[in-house]
Amino acid sequence: MIQIKAKALRLMPVNIIWFAGKPQKWQCLYNYYKQSAYNEEVAGYCREAFFTKVIDISAPAEVFESGFDQKTVYEIRRAVKDGVTTSTETDLAHFVSFYNLFAKTKQLPKLSANFNKYRSRIIITKAVYNQQDIVMHAYLSDMSIKRVRLLYSASLFRNENDTQYKAVVGRANRLLHFKDMCFFKQQGFEVYDLGGYASGTTNEALMRINQFKDSFGGALIQESDYLPLPAMVLAFINKMFKV
C-alpha cells in the first residue's frame, strides 16, 4: 500500500492511498483510494470502477513473452536490430521536461506538482535511439505487494511526418515495455500493471490504446477508485460558482 498526502482542489487535504483493501468508513473525510481491491459500495465514498491489464512477471520471461501477439514479438526484435537500447533514468526533472514536451504535442495537461510527492516510489525507464531519448516510462512501485504500475508513458518525434522514424519510436515503445518487465522481474516484482484500460469504450483513440495493451496479453481485472464525498461536494460547489 502507498500513501501520499495531497490536496483536493488545492484546498482540502487528502491522503491518496493506492492498492489498499476495503476503505475505512470513518476516514471518508480525507482519504482517496486508488485501485482498491475492494469492489463494493462504501458509505461516505463515491465508487468508480477501474479496469486495468496486469501481467504476471513472476513466471520466466519466455512464459509472459509467449502471451504477446506476433506483431509485438516482431517489433520488439526489430527494435533491437534498429539499435534501440533501454535503461533506467534517475533524473526526475529530465522525465518531467520530456513528458511535458510530449503533453504539449498531444494537448494533454502537464505533470502536476503532486508527481514530485511520489519521488521515492517512482521508477523511470527509457529507450534510446541514436543517442537520443525517444520513449520514457514512469512507474509507481510498491514492493510490499510486488507490483509496479505504469503512471506515464511519453514518446517524442523529431518530425511528425517522418513515418520511418515514427515506426522506430513505436517499436522502441514495445521493446521498452518488454525490457521493463524483465527488469522489474529481476528486482523481485511480480505484477506488471499497464495503467488502466477503457473497458467498453467507443472512443477510437482509447480503443487503439486498449489494442496496444492487449498486444502484451495479460489479464483484465476490475478494481475501484473511492473518492471521498466531501471532496466531491467541494468539486461541485467549485464548478457551480467558478467565474
Residues 180 and 123 in one domain: yes
CATH number at residue 118: 3.40.630.30
Residue type, position 95, single letter? F
Pair (207, 100) in one structural domain: yes
Section 219-223 average pLDDT? 98
200 with 90, same domain: the answer is yes
Q: Nine-digit cell at 186?
A: 529481476
Closest CA to 192 of 221, 170, 171: 221
* Eight-class DSSP state of 217: -
Do 60 and 11 have their domain in common?
no
Instruction: Choose among 155, 151, 87: nearest CA to 121.
Output: 151
Rounded to two decimals, what is the model's pTM? 0.91
**Do residues 84 and 108 share a domain?**
yes
Domain count, the chain: 2
How many CB atoms neighbour CB 42 within 10 A?
17
Cβ contacts of residue 102 below 8 Å, gap of 6+? 108, 154, 155, 156
pLDDT tens profile 14-73? 889 999 999 988 888 889 999 999 999 999 999 999 999 999 999 999 999 999 999 999
**154 and 38, same structural domain?**
no
**59/141 same-domain check:** yes
> pLDDT (tens digit, 9 = 90+) per residue, 121-141?
999 999 999 999 999 999 999
The answer on 102 and 212 residing in a single domain is: yes
Q: Show the domain range for 90.
A: 53-221
